[in-house]
Amino acid sequence: MQSNIFTHKSIRTFSGWLIFIATIGLLATIVPSEIFNTESEKFIFIIGLIGIWRYSIGIIHFVRGMWFMRWTFPKLREKINKMGKDALPPHVYLMVTSFRIDSTTTAKVYNSVFEEANKCGISTTIVASIVEVSDEFLIRNLFEQQEMLETVSLVFVRIPGTGKRDALASGFRYISRDLPAENAVVAVIDGDTMLGHNCVLKAVPFFSALPNLAALTTNEICEVKGSYIMSEWHKLRFGQRHINMCSMALSKRVLTLTGRMSMFRASVVTNPDFIDDIQLDNLEHWRLGRFRFLTGDDKSSWFSIMKMGLDTFYVPDAIVSTVEHPPHKSFLKSSRQLMFRWYGNNLRQNNRAVKLGPKKLGWFAYYVVNDQKISMWTSLFGLSVALLASLKYSIVYGVIYLLWIMITRTMITLTILAGGHKVGPIYPIMLYYNQIMGAVMKIYVFFRLDRQSWTRQPAKLSIEAEALQQVLNLWSSRTVTFACASIFAAVIFVLV
């Protein structure tokens, strides 16, 4: 049966690539021959300064990522192997936050945590930060069924269902009261994340090898409870994430500490300022007023560590598996809602991070953070010019642009393959979808930073503002969005 399934998938993948490549060939026969002449003005139009700039950033990330994977990380792993047991911390806390996760997933998650706690050979405390009493019964029963070592203990932290930030803060405060050694390690694990083979043992030694390291995050694979296109979209995201994480790890400035699974030095998570940054993080906006953050605890923890001037890292061979539950059956609705949350979390921290300057961020991370604000406009530049040129001059420009997109996105797909992730024939199309829809969502949320919501929980932020202020926020957001979009459109019209 497995062999038949594998054959069916292989045939579908091969057929998909065949159709995609044939489409590229067909488009190449339609466009005028002079378009491939480097002396042609049309060729300059296709490449363009904006295109060169955008692609150069992707190439830099790829080269840095490959260097980290092939050279820097193996050397560091070799150093850790020579250190042996001296690289291990005296104690590890595995803190799992669970809220409204189905019992099947909860069982898989905690069984993986129990197995890793037994295998790592380090004194371990498993901290279950939960809301519902049924979860406590299930977790305790699973723990008692396992043949756990005496060095492994299980404790429960019960909190009201007021959000993940409160759950994390309660767990961190419990660990603080336990008075851990400064070089102990705390792993923060989401309630739908299963630890891979030797994940703990592969990750924790880096805190000994890198004295200035405050936190690290790990590689991810996913199991998607949704359609084929939703599954491929998530896998594409993790493939891109892997290369970008490796690139940023080269500077020891990973830009996010993924909430699904990250590890922290105990001296960091027991710091009262760090705990307050997680639980009470807020933003004072010149137009929208002051509001607390509902989502984005991973970005809050990252920003708090950047303020301290400490390092963050990525361990590509420590793998966790996540269970992804799309918020809607519709791919378009799900992807938009997820982008709204992800990009909102990112942009809410962006301006504050820029103010830290290159001294704390490092020059490359400082550049990347600044570039994130510009890319939401430049990502729409090519499409806008191609559409306007097609309407004003000839539809040929639209065909040329489509051919260019298909070729370049295929090349980007090959970089993901070089990063060690499998790719599918739908990847080039989804890469372009992410570029355009992602840019639109970034622009939309950039002017509505006060709007937040979970995708897996029916909770929304209660804005602490008078009714009149909320109305002003709504209409000022619309006005500023319209004004900036009009300026962008005017620039395109002038250029074309």
pLDDT tens string 115-135:
999 999 999 999 999 988 889
The two beta strands, 92-97 and 124-130, are parallel
- 443-454: average pLDDT: 85
pLDDT of residue 45: 54
| Range among 36-50, 123-137, 287-301 rated most confident | 123-137
Structural domain including 184 reads 82-330
| Assigned domain for 402 exists | no
Confidence of residue 77 (pLDDT cuts 50, 70, 90): very high
Dist. CA 322–CA 427, nearest whole Å: 20
Query: Who contacts 313 (Cβ-Cβ below 8 Å, separation ≥6)?
Result: 206, 210, 213, 215, 216, 217, 249, 252, 254
Give pLDDT, residue 140.
Answer: 95
Q: What is the rounded distance in angstroms from the CA atom of residue 33 to the CA atom of residue 175?
A: 68
Residue 35's pLDDT band (boundaries 50, 70, 90)?
low
Strand pairing partners for 195?
Answer: 320
Q: Is the pLDDT of residue 396 over 90?
A: no
Distances (CA, A) of 130 to 135, 180, 190, 387: 7, 22, 11, 52
The answer to whether position 325 is within a domain reads yes
Mean pLDDT check: name the lowest of 81-90, 219-228, 385-394, 451-460: 451-460
Locate 153 and state its tokens.
Answer: 């203990």
| 419/69 Cα distance (integer angstroms) | 8
Q: What is the average per-residue pLDDT within 13-40?
A: 74
Q: Give the per-residue pLDDT at 96.
A: 96
Tell me, what's the pLDDT at 459? 47
Confidence bin at 48 (pLDDT 50/70/90)? low
pLDDT score recorded for residue 37: 55
Asked if residues 332 and 263 have their Cβ atoms less than 8 Å apart, the reply is no
Instruction: Name the residue with tokens 């339609």.
Output: 30
Is pLDDT above 60 for 468? yes
CATH number assigned to the domain comprising residue 124: 3.90.550.10
Cβ atoms of 95 and 188 within 8 Å: the answer is yes
Q: Which run of H or of E encompasses 80? A: helix 73-83
Residue 42: pLDDT band with limits 50, 70, 90: low
Residue 380 belongs to some domain of the structure: no
Which carries the bigger pLDDT value, residue 49 or residue 326?
326
Over pLDDT 90: what percentage of the chain?
58
CA distance 447 to 377: 13
Q: How confident is the model at residue 463 (pLDDT cuts 50, 70, 90)?
A: very low
CA dihedral 44, 49, 51, 52 (to 10 degrees): 100
Nearest residue to 96 via CA among 109, 82, 115: 109
Residue 6 has pLDDT above 80, yes or no: no
- At 198, the amino acid letter reads N
Domain count, the chain: 1
Distance (Å, rounded) from C-alpha 48 to C-alpha 51?
5
Q: Which of 3-12, 102-111, 209-218, 454-463 has the lowest mean pLDDT?
A: 454-463
What is d(CA 10, CA 23) in angstroms, rounded to the nearest whole number?
A: 20
Predicted pLDDT of residue 2: 45
Asked if residue 128 is part of any domain, the answer here is: yes
Give counts: helices (H), strands (E), the chain: 18, 10
Say if residue 423's pLDDT is above 80.
Answer: yes
Which residue is listed with tokens 């390092």? 311
In this prediction the pTM is 0.90
pLDDT range class, residue 20, cuts 50, 70, 90: confident
Rounded distance between C-alpha atoms, residue 365 and residue 253, angstroms: 7
Q: Is residue 251 part of a domain?
A: yes
For residues 266 and 185, the answer to whether their CB atoms sit within 8 Å is yes
Q: For residue 425, is it within any domain?
A: no
Instruction: Check residue 462 and give its pLDDT.
Output: 45
Query: 184 falls in which pLDDT band (50, 70, 90)?
Result: very high
To the nearest whole number, what is the mean pLDDT of the chain? 88
What's the mean pLDDT in 419-447?
93
What end-to-end distance do the CA atoms of the chain give, in Å? 57
Q: What is the mean pLDDT of residues 304-314?
A: 96
**Which residues, in sequence order, are bridge partners of residue 406?**
none
Tell me, yes or no, whether 179 lies in a domain. Answer: yes
Alpha carbon distance 324, 193 (integer Å): 9
Give pLDDT tens digits for 224-273. 988 889 999 999 999 999 999 999 999 999 999 988 999 999 999 999 99
pLDDT of residue 455: 57
Q: Percentage of residues in the chain with pLDDT exceeding 70?
A: 91
The residue among 161 and 78 whose pLDDT is bigger is 78
Asked whether residue 23 carries a pLDDT value surpassing 90, the answer given is no
Residue 126 lies in a domain: yes
